[in-house]
Amino acid sequence: MANNIVVVGTQWGDEGKGKITDYLGQDADVVVRFQGGNNAGHTIVFDNKKYALHLIPSGIFHDKKINIMGNGMVINPIAFKEELEALIKQGVNASNLFVSDRAHITLPYHIELDKLQEELKKDNNVGTTFKGIGPTYTDKYSRIGIRVCDFINDDIFLEKLKFVIAWHNNIFKAYNKELFDATKLFKEMKEYQEYLKPYVTDTTKLLDDLKNNNKKILFEGAQGALLDIEQGTYPFVTSSTPTAAGVATGSGFGPNNIEKVLGIVKAYSTRVGSGMFVSEIDGDIAHYIREKGHEYGVTTGRARRIGWFDAVVINHTRRVSGLTDLSIMLLDVLSGLDEIKICTKYLLDGNEIDYFPALINDLERCQPVYEVLPGWQEDITQCTDFNDLPINAKNYINRIQELTGVQVSIISVGPDRKQTITRNNMW
């Protein structure tokens, strides 16, 4: 029995968090996003339809359930309007959507700053989504950001906008980029201000009331632990806290209230953007997995880099996110392979290590140590029970469980909501 579950990415994002949030959302009362912005791309498939969400929580398809966009998020008001309007057109009910008055606003100059920083970093660029995420969080921590509560208040918004634009124009000027005009941007934002306003509230108070009324609360992480600003492959990370720790700061839900943390794990690994990836592979098997798993970004369309399952990564995430359960995703994609590798340790300068090094130069020299398991040929996309799976698929899951010490409670065998095997009831 649980009253709340945190869903988090354990690798480099795109593990299938959207699918599982929607799946567990069937029995939840509330779904909360607590970090990130529209750099996220969460895919949900049901009734033969596919949806891609970026800012809006993945509980939105469940009529009458409350969806909250927490204070730890960064919200581009133009993207918010576009995404929500499209959802409403498709019949989604947005009357139970709430946006934190403390979340930060992403504006067009953040996107230009994102592009400029990537350009200046040259070969060391992060490979960001160009959604202005890093610069929005930078403004937040520099204490010059514009929050939702500021944005919807005309006088305060204009005053803050004038200050912050003058600040950033220094940079744009230095690099011969186009300058921003505060008054012009202020006017352009009017329609987005009005669109956002009805959804804004103090979500910390709302969440506390819901908790006190024993409502079932699901927290939906974006990105993944290895993209976490603290625990990821810094500096090749995003600028927020995608680990479970982000729930407390990003939604105002006290950390002592968290009951379960479900780590969403791809049955293999993928990464989009730059940065170290010890178990990365290319060649025929990578191609097979990329095409079968449709491993192309939901937000940017970029081809995702492919690798084997890495137990060093998942053990790192287990520690930093406090995982209580795992959900193994896209297991069906591995059907048809003769053998499957699992990275169990790294070899660093001739020594075997079982931890994830902080120093990028160390990580670059790490070689994967693999264990090889026999694959399976059967199509598993219609399996509804763990016992229906081929023996080698069961062995693969059990081996992941042994190597991580975390119980595998959910197994996903296809993108559809129904293609989900539950071993332990999460709620």
What residues line the site for Mg ion (CB under 5 A)?
14, 41, 298
Instruction: Answer yes or no: are the C-beta atoms of 29 and 222 closer than 8 Å.
Output: no
**Residues 13, 57, 72, 246: which binds ligand IMO (CB under 6 A)?**
13
Q: Residue 5 or residue 210: which is nearer to ligand GDP going by CB? A: 5
Instruction: Answer yes or no: are the C-beta atoms of 244 and 263 closer than 8 Å.
Output: no
Q: Compute CA 357 distance to the chain's CA centroid, rounded to the nearest angstrom.
A: 22
The CA-to-CA distance between both ends of the chain, in Å, stands at 5
Q: Check residue 59 for interaction with ligand IMO (CB under 6 A).
A: no
| Binding string, residues 346-365; x marks residues near ligand IMO by CB under 6 A | --------------------
Give dist(CA 197, CA 206) in Å, integer. 17
Q: In what order do the strands lie in the sheet with 97-100?
A: 200-201, 97-100, 66-69, 30-33, 217-220, 4-9, 260-266, 325-329, 407-412, 420-422
Instruction: Answer yes or no: are the C-beta atoms of 409 and 426 closer than 8 Å.
Output: yes
Say which residue the tokens 């680990």 belong to.
243
**How many positions of this chain bind ligand IMO (CB under 6 A)?**
23
What 8-state DSSP symbol labels residue 256?
G
Beta bridge pairs of residue 325: 262, 407
Q: Residue 184 or residue 294: which is nearer to Mg ion going by CB? A: 294
Query: Catalytic annotation on 110?
Result: no
> Phi/psi class of residue 65: alpha, beta or left (left: φ > 0; alpha: ψ in -120 to 50)?
beta
Q: Check residue 131 for interaction with ligand GDP (CB under 6 A).
A: no
Stretch that binds ligand IMO, among 9-17, 22-30, 60-68, 325-333 (CB under 6 A): 9-17
**Residues 42, 147, 271, 345: which binds ligand GDP (CB under 6 A)?**
42
Q: Residue 287 or residue 302: which is nearer to ligand IMO going by CB? A: 302
Q: Check residue 133 for interaction with ligand IMO (CB under 6 A).
A: yes
Q: Which two tokens stand for residue 231?
A: 């625990």
Instruction: Enumerate residues 387-426 that contact ligand GDP by CB under 6 A.
Output: 412-415
Q: Residue 9 or residue 77: which is nearer to ligand IMO going by CB? A: 9
Q: Residue 40 or residue 207: which is nearer to Mg ion going by CB? A: 40
| From the list ligand GDP, ligand IMO, Mg ion, none, partner contacted by residue 272 (C-beta under 5 to 8 A by kind) | ligand IMO
Q: Which two tokens stand for residue 402?
A: 């042994």
Going 359 to 362 to 364 to 369, the CA torsion angle's sign is negative
Query: Catalytic annotation on 287?
Result: no
| Binding string, residues 1-40; x marks residues near ligand GDP by CB under 6 A | --------x---xxxxxxx---------------------
Q: Check residue 83 for interaction with ligand GDP (CB under 6 A).
A: no
Active-site entry in 29, 42, 62, 104 = 42
Say which residue the tokens 């990836």 belong to.
277
Q: Check residue 131 for interaction with ligand IMO (CB under 6 A).
A: yes
| From the list ligand IMO, Mg ion, ligand GDP, none, partner contacted by residue 131 (C-beta under 5 to 8 A by kind) | ligand IMO
Q: Check residue 293 for interaction with ligand IMO (CB under 6 A).
A: no
Instruction: Answer yes or no: are the C-beta atoms of 414 and 332 closer than 8 Å.
Output: yes
Q: Check residue 139 for interaction with ligand GDP (CB under 6 A).
A: no
| Binding string, residues 289-318; x marks residues near ligand GDP by CB under 6 A | ----xx---x--------------------
| Binding string, residues 247-286; x marks residues near ligand IMO by CB under 6 A | -------------------------xx-------------
Instruction: Examine residue 415 and say whether the peptide bond preceding it is cis (omega within 30 degrees of 0).
Output: no
Distance in Å, CB of 8 to Mg ion, minimum: 13
Q: Check residue 344 for interaction with ligand IMO (CB under 6 A).
A: no
Instruction: Answer yes or no: are the C-beta atoms of 411 and 386 closer than 8 Å.
Output: yes
Q: Where are the alpha helices (DSSP H) in 75-153?
A: 77-89, 108-121, 133-141, 148-151
Q: In what order do the strands lie in the sheet with 280-281?
A: 269-271, 305-307, 280-281
Q: Check residue 321 for interaction with ligand IMO (CB under 6 A).
A: no
Q: How many helices and strands, by DSSP H and E, does the chain display?
A: 14, 21
Measured between alpha carbons, how far is residue 406 from residues 33, 261, 328, 394, 399 in Å?
Answer: 24, 11, 11, 15, 11
Residues that bind ligand IMO (CB under 6 A): 9, 12-14, 39-42, 126-129, 131, 133-134, 222-224, 227, 238-239, 272-273
Name the residues annotated as catalytic.
14, 42
Residues that bind ligand GDP (CB under 6 A): 9, 13-19, 41-43, 45, 293-294, 298, 329-330, 332-333, 412-415
